[in-house]
Structure 1
């Protein structure tokens, strides 16, 4: 099991990663997400031994690295998959996967499993982006790493290919039984693929939990906003319910919140119905998403909410609508802050 304790990394006098703690179980896939510059790639580089750490410990059982005890990358048995594939252009697919392998049986196994059998003699220049990434993954797994680090492996691919390849990579990692830390900017990718998700902000881990917990019960407003569209509606927490201008709904206090709270509402927690004369809100704008539409509305009280509905809804900016909370599960309730806007 990979265990990281109080890991900090500085670039000169500038702290980039601050007191990171995490443990990776056997065959677990952990997704790391966060804004650009939050330290995601730096964490991968530190785990791989490519950069020194300032303090803390990285422990795999067979080795342990600290600020004063550096373990070189080649001694860590770590596999890395990059966004730019990092293939040798002069070698064939088979030669890339078998590079520095004494026993090529595992290479044959992964070439077949990842659908590369018919491309053994092809050079990288003749491969699609998805094929190149499968070659890079096959090469990594053929070397039987103790854990795998993936640095935005799908960022250079088109949207349609990303959706299918993310599952191919996940299934391959699970088949190999190897744990992995996967860095991505794609929140949907993180929530759908990861066994757990870690959300970073300015070098600190804000929350680490299973995807559903991070989305439905975020540790704070930063996590709530980063993992999807988030609106906040004032209310009064009374027992297991929150009293709001849109009615009473089940609530769950976050961080010991009590009394006056702000309820986290996702666009799918709400409904929108066009109204001619009545209604309780006005449409500010609408975005067409294909199978759905995302609306921003302003309640008569002045609070702003975002609502996702069927693409068949045709309300226009300036028109009145009725907004209601339709979800039955408890919604996260945070201590009220005067500066929070929807």
Structure 2
């Protein structure tokens, strides 16, 4: 089990990672997300031993690394998968995977499992981006690492390939029974692939929990906004029920919120329709998404909501419409804040 306690990293006088605490199970996949510059890659480098830590400790099996007792990278048995593949261009697929291996049986296993067996003699220049990443993963797993760090491994691939390869990587990591920390900028990737998700903000871990908990019950408005489209609707929390001007829904208090609250509303929690009477909003803008349309609509109280509807439900910007809460699951309720002016995007 990988255990990280009070881990901090400073670059000069600037603290980049601040008192990080986390534990990983024997085959758990933790997805790390956060804005650019929040410390995601720095955490991976610190865990790999590539940069020194300022405070805290990293423990894995027989070794513990601290600021005063740094365990070098070669002693940590860590595998790393990068976004740029990091393959040797002059070596074949087999030679890349078997690099510095005495026993190549695991290399054969992972080449076959990842569908690269027939490309053993190919050079990296002859492979597609997805094939290169499979080779990089096979090389990592063939060295039987104690844990794996993945730094945006799919960022250089096209959208269609990302969707399939993310599941191949997850399956391979689970088959290897090895814990992994996977850094990504893709929220959909984080929510769908990870056993848990950690959301970083300015070097601090704002929340670490299951994807479902982070999405439905975020610990802060920052987490709520970062993990998908988020709107906040004023209401009154009465027990476990929230009363709003567009409907009543079950509510879950976040951080002790009560009375006047703002509930977190996702686009799929709402329904939008054109009506001749009882209109309660104006359409600000619409984005066509293929199977759906994403709308922004402003209520009479000035709050802007985002609503996702079928592509068949076509309403024009500037038109009046009726929006209502349709969800039956509890919505996260935060302490109320002053209403900010809406803005078009």
What TM bracket, shorter-length normalisation?
A: over 0.9
Secondary structure at 2:23 match in 1:
strand
Determine if the alignment matches structure 1 residue 236 to structure 2 residue 236.
yes
Count of aligned residue pairs for this structure pair: 342
In the alignment, is residue 204 of structure 1 matched against residue 204 of structure 2? yes
Q: Distance in 1 between matches of 2:227 and 2:140?
A: 30
The answer to whether the aligner puts 1:42 opposite 2:56 as a matched pair is: no
C-alpha distance 36-6 of structure 1, shift in aligned 2 (>3 A) = same
> Is the 1:277–1:320 Cα contact (8 Å) retained in structure 2?
no
TM-score with structure 2 setting the length: 0.98
Query: Unpaired runs of 5+ in structure 2?
Result: none
> How far apart, CA to CA, are the structure 2 residues paired with 1:247 and 1:148?
47
Residue 61 of structure 1, CA deviation: 2.1
Superposed, 1:143-162 pairs within 5 Å as 143-162=143-162
Return structure 1 stretches of 4+ with deviation > 6 angstroms: none
Cα distance in 1, alignment partners of residues 274 and 166 from structure 2 = 39
Distance in 1 (alpha carbons) for counterparts of 2:4 and 2:316: 51
- Equivalent positions of 1:177-196 (< 5 A) are 177-196=177-196
State the TM-score, normalizing by the size of structure 1: 0.99
C-alpha distance in 1, partners of 2:327/2:238?
18
1:278 deviates by: 3.3
8 A contact 2:282–2:318 mirrored in 1: yes
The 3-state SS of whatever aligns with 2:249 is strand
* CA distance in structure 2 between the aligned counterparts of 1:168 and 1:125, rounded to whole angstroms: 22
- What are the equivalent positions in structure 2 for 1:105-254 lying under 5 Å apart? 105-254=105-254
2:248–2:325 CA contact under 8 A, matched in 1: no
C-alpha distance in 1 between matches for 2:256 and 2:158: 43
Mapped to 2, the partners of 1:192 and 1:76 lie a distance apart of 29
For residues 61-80 of structure 1, the aligned pairs below 5 Å read 61-80=61-80
* Distance of 1:276 and 1:317 partners within structure 2: 16
Cα distance in 1, alignment partners of residues 124 and 111 from structure 2: 14
Distance 2:288 2:203 in 1: 35
Question: Partner of 1:298 in structure 2?
Answer: 298
8 A Cα contact 1:232 1:341, kept in partner: no
SS in 2 for 1:225: helix
Counterpart for residue 84 of structure 2: 84
For residues 341 and 240 of structure 2, the distance between their equivalents in structure 1, rounded to whole angstroms, comes to 24
The answer to whether the 8 Å contact 2:86/2:136 transfers is yes
State how far apart, in whole Å, the 1-side matches of 2:315 and 2:99 are: 59
- Taking a change above 3 Å as real, the CA distance of residues 341 and 232 of structure 1, as seen in their structure-2 partners, is farther
* Aligned-CA RMSD value: 0.8
Distance between the aligned counterparts of 2:228 and 2:215, measured in 1? 8
Q: Which runs of 5+ in 1 are unaligned?
A: none
Secondary structure of 2:236's counterpart equals strand
Note the alpha carbon deviations across 1:125-167, whole angstroms, 9 max, x for none: 1100000000000000000000000000000000000000000
